[in-house]
Amino acid sequence: MLVEEKTSATREKVREFLFEKFPACGKNELKDNESLIETGIVDSMGMLELVVFVESDFGVEVDEMDLVPENFESVEALSKFVESKLGN
């Protein structure tokens, strides 16, 4: 699988999780670069759910240093973060 295909698959998995857990994101309206935090889709409790999702579904460890808004800001940012932790 090409790197671009892996990133796309990661992005889709992240989107599916968001649509399932955070219905406020509106399945067809959420853009990959739209802020999950500024739009209110994800709050502090939602951030914890995202961390658990990333750790359990992708098998990566989210360190304290990783818990910055830039890594969880959007579908795109979260996908890139996961891919970087996976070494892709």
Q: Tens of pLDDT along 55-73?
A: 999 999 999 999 998 999 9
pLDDT tens digits for 2-20?
Answer: 556 667 899 999 999 999 9
Domain 3-82, classified CATH 3.30.360.10, yes or no: no
Rounded distance between C-alpha atoms, residue 82 and residue 72, angstroms: 10
Single-letter code of the amino acid located at 26: G
Q: What is the pTM of this model?
A: 0.86
- The token duo for 31 is 């853009």
**What is the DSSP code string of 11-31?**
HHHHHHHHHHH-GGG-TTT--
Helix axes 3-21, 75-86, angle to 10 degrees: 130
Do residues 78 and 14 make contact, with C-beta atoms less than 8 angstroms apart? Answer: yes
